[in-house]
Structure 1
Amino acid sequence: MKNLIKKFILSLIVFGASLLTPVFAHAAEYYMSPIGNDNNSGSINSPFASISKAQAVASYGDTVFIMGGTYKNFNIASSDNTYNYVNNITKSGITYRAFSSSDIPVFDFSTVPTNKRVAAFHIAKGVTDVTIATIDVTGVKVGNQKQSECFRVEGNALLYEVTCHDTEANGFYFVNNGTGYCTKCDAYNNIGATKFSIGNTDGFGAHGNGVVFQYCRSWNNSDDGFDCLTSKGTNTFDHCWAFNMNAGGDSNGFKIGGYASGTPYDPVPVHTVYACLAANNKAHGFYANHQPGQSAYWYNNTAYNNRGGNFDMLERVSINDPTDIPGTREIVHNNLSFNGIAIKDSNLPSKNVISNSWNIEGITVTASDFQSLDISELTKKRDYTNSDELIPDVKFMHLVNGSDLKGLGCF
């Protein structure tokens, strides 16, 4: 059953090439360095200093190699009434990637002014096939604004091995018609600076026209780990982790669905949450979040110690009736819950809730079923030099040999 589900998930991911071993095709190569100069030629021995300059000379299919070191002297490329766009990507088909996976470039935005919201990287509307790979983003400030964003994607982008951490901003924010992929990305310690912004600072936000998240981690962000409120497209969450959301906002692990006071899209998108982990979050682990219809297919997920409930299937009656109801349409199979309310706000028919740890006769989940309950393992540093590592190897919530929970959960 689990292999069939895996094939189903992979069939949803239509990108042309495997995201696990991406191919960065290029027609020409340019280089940039923290000690470069935008008057240089952009060669490996004469690198540029900025993405703006590299983009100006690059064309579709080209690659910009980013040398190691810290980039912190930024000009604002573009502004509107709301945002300062620091790196404004307006050309399609260009790849921006680390020159070496053993020397990760760091982009530090701590000196960028906050007279407007900050978008450290902006993929503009209509821009497609942009790849950004193996960089570290930090220091984005929010000031008194409602929110800022490390990545604001309004076009189409593949973000691969990108980390957003220790900022006051959303990590990865897909909005409007934004689409794309986040693969092997991390967002952590992103905490709004004021009461106003704390509740708007997620690790990953899928509010656009459909995003695939694979092997991504989100922890200690001040709102939610993964949030797809108001999404008009279908989102897929595949082997992702959300844990330790306890910093003051909504604090859900996976908030999958909902439109708040906005008008729901018709038809309402149905998302997929497969082989994901939600642990030690102040609110819900996996949350249907008032979806006016089915929120998701929930397959082979693991939930641990989420204080608002490990699985919460709260729905609304319909797109025309916002009355909250216990969920009746969610599909919940092969999930594992330990140390928390297994499932709540659920009025699901039995055919929709099959082979979960809480409804298999004779099954009792205890600490002895797991190799480790040490949640600190989940913050293990990634090894970008190991292309075979999809997500860090841990023992947390992995089943011991002989456990009768085999086949359940994400490990």
Structure 2
Amino acid sequence: MSVFLKALAVALPLAQAAEIYVSPTGADTAAGTIDAPLQSIQVAVNQATPGDTIYLRKGTYSPSSNIQINKSGTASAPYSLRAYKGEKITIDGEDLPGTPADLDASLPNEDRGIIHVQDAEYWVFSDLVLVNGPYGMYVRDASNNRYERLVTANNYETGFQMQGASSNNTVLYLDSYGNRDPRKNGESADGFACKEGEGEGNLLKGARLWDNVDDGLDLWEFKSAVTIEDTISWGNGFNRWDFTPFEGDGNGFKLGGGDDADIGPANHVITNCFAFNNAKDGFTDNSQPGDFKLTRNTAWNNAKTGFKFGTAAATLTENVSAVNGEKSTSLSDGQVSERNSWDNSADWGNGSFVTVDSELVKGARDADGKIASSSFLVPAFGEEIGARTEWA
């Protein structure tokens, strides 16, 4: 085949990719163009073919059934579902089933999530706000997808949940907060969770997880590695909804857990993350076996323990633990601890940091999606340990 024909063969699929437009004021009998948008996101999803981009125009969408994503693109022709040119998009799930489900009720799998991604690969989701749903983003048995600059807030279960056989997913710059689960009195609504499955190559980077009724991050019964970088978790596990009895936990980073028959080893990697002001521990293996690596993380002002590892074979390097309510660390003999704040005789308190003003990390993100740079919890005396928001 000539060079020209080879180039044409590559270009043709790209040329055939379409743009489909949706607006809250559109009509599903319309052409789906920018001047004649559809109204239903699901109709646009159903019409799309690999390589297509679905653009959502500004406003609030209030579907009565959740958005089902169950077909796959390819590496060279992924689907894309995104806001149009910086416009603010909110998908409000209040009218979906299970908002909330009754106390102790079971929520059917197909009803989970405002956006329900299952058995689907090569999708890109970006710049969407998902609120008041039975989960915000729910991902099951879905791999090779990218989720960027999403907000999952005030949902009736976990804000962003991934489970089952899900690999090679990237979650960038997620904000997930205020998620709660009345049907369980707060037992399992986390900011971000990988649960009940196996996968590899999954990355969570640059997330903020706060004021969720259970844990900020939960890797319950997820048996393979998850890489977590540049993520902040605070204020989780407090009963802001007057649940009686209250079942929430409140760890910043719960890196495993489950029944003995289902727990399995995992090799999680946690780098440059913050846990502060949580109701329980900052970082914990929660009885999860595996080979964990924690490097340059900071646990500050959590109610119980900063770093709690008793089962995993964790290597903890250049981490900082300070001003936690019960103890700095709880480490079994199987852990490797090197050049951490607790490995010397220094007593770390609030004065050990340039600033403990947490408002510095709670404001608007930068235009590229990163958490705004600051000196929050930077060691005051030049020690090259602990997490930073002074991004390289």
Structure 1 distance, partners of 2:15, 2:365, is: 25
Name the structure 2 match of 1:324: none
* Mapped pair 1:263 → 2:252: no
Per the alignment, residue 298 of structure 2 pairs with: 302
The verdict on how the C-alpha distance between 1:26 and 1:406 changes in structure 2, with shifts beyond 3 A counting, is farther
User: Counterparts of 1:398 and 1:408 in 2: how far apart (Å)?
Assistant: 7
* TM-score w.r.t. length of structure 2: 0.83
| Correspondence for 1:408 among 377, 386, 392 | 386
Other-structure match for 1:138: 131
Which amino acid is 2:266 matched to? P
Match of 2:80 among 80, 95, 99: 95
CA positional deviation for 1:395 = 3.4
Look up the match of 1:319.
none
Q: Using the alignment, how far apart are the partners of 1:225 and 1:151 within structure 2?
A: 15
Residue 55 of structure 1 and its aligned partner are, at CA, apart by 1.3
Pairing 1:226–2:226 present: no
RMSD, aligned CA: 2.0
Q: What is the identity, as a one-letter code, of the residue corresponding to 2:147?
A: L
Residue pairs, 1:172-211, within 5 angstroms: 172-179=160-167, 180-194=169-183, 196-207=184-195, 208=197, 209-210=199-200, 211=202
Q: Which amino acid aligns with 1:58?
A: A
Once the two structures are superposed, the pairs formed by residues 6-405 of structure 1 within 5 Å of their partners are: 27-72=17-62, 74-76=63-65, 86-93=66-73, 94-101=79-86, 103-114=87-98, 116=107, 117-125=111-119, 127-140=120-133, 148-154=134-140, 155-156=142-143, 157-179=145-167, 180-194=169-183, 196-207=184-195, 208=197, 209-210=199-200, 211-248=202-239, 249-265=248-264, 268-294=265-291, 296-315=292-311, 329-340=313-324, 341-348=327-334, 352-360=336-344, 363-383=346-366, 386-387=367-368, 389-400=369-380, 403-405=381-383
Number of matched pairs: 345
Give the AA of the match of 1:98: A
CA distance in 2, matches of 1:68, 1:235: 34
* Closer, same or farther: CA 223–262 of 1 in aligned 2, 3 Å: farther
Amino acid at match of 1:255: K
Deviation, structure 1 residue 166:
1.8
SS of residue in 1 equivalent to 2:361: helix
Could you tell me whether the CA contact under 8 Å between 1:31 and 1:48 is conserved in 2? Answer: yes
Specify the SS of the correspondent of 2:45.
helix
Letter in 1 for 2:354: Q
CA contact (8 A) 2:378 2:386 kept: no
- Shift, 1:27, TM fit: 2.0
What is the deviation of 1:262?
3.7
The question of whether the paired residues in 1 share the 8 Å contact of 2:57 and 2:83 is answered with yes
Q: Secondary structure at the match of 1:358?
A: helix
* Distance in structure 2 (CA, Å) of the matches to 1:120 and 1:262: 31
After superposition, the C-alpha distances for 1:193-217 in whole angstroms (9 at most, x for unaligned) are 25x2411101101124242100001
Q: Please tell me the residue identity of whatever aligns with 1:57.
A: Q
Structure 1: stretches of 5+ with no match in the other structure? 1-23, 77-85, 141-147, 316-326
Distance in 1 of aligned mates of 2:164 and 2:16: 29
Q: TM-score, normalised by structure 1?
A: 0.79
Structure 1 letter corresponding to 2:360: E
Aligned to 2:244: none
Q: 1:184: Cα distance to partner?
A: 0.4
Indicate how the Cα distance of structure 1 residues 308 and 407 shifts in structure 2: closer, same or farther if over 3 A, else same.
closer
Cα distance in 1 for residues equivalent to 2:138 and 2:185: 16
Deviation at 1:394, TM superposition (A): 3.4
30 and 59 in structure 1: CA distance in 2 versus 1, 3 angstrom threshold: same
Deviations 1:97-153 (A, max 9, x none): 11022x22001111223264542111112x10111100111112xxxxxxx321111
**CA 1:137–1:37: 2 relative to 1, 3 Å:** same
The residue number in structure 2 matching 1:15 is none
Equivalent in the alignment of 1:79: none
Q: Which amino acid aligns with 2:155?
A: T
Shift of 1:409: 3.2
SS of aligned partner of 1:55? helix
Q: Is the contact made by 1:36 and 1:49 (CA closer than 8 Å) also made in structure 2? A: yes
* Partner residue in 2 for 1:9: none
**CA apart distance, 1:338:** 1.0
- Structure 2 counterpart of 1:123, which letter? V
Distance 1:173 1:261 in 2: 22
CA deviation vs aligned residue, 1:289-325 (integer Å, no higher than 9, x gap): 101343x10111011011120000021xxxxxxxxxx
**Contact 1:357–1:405, Cα closer than 8 Å, also in 2:** no
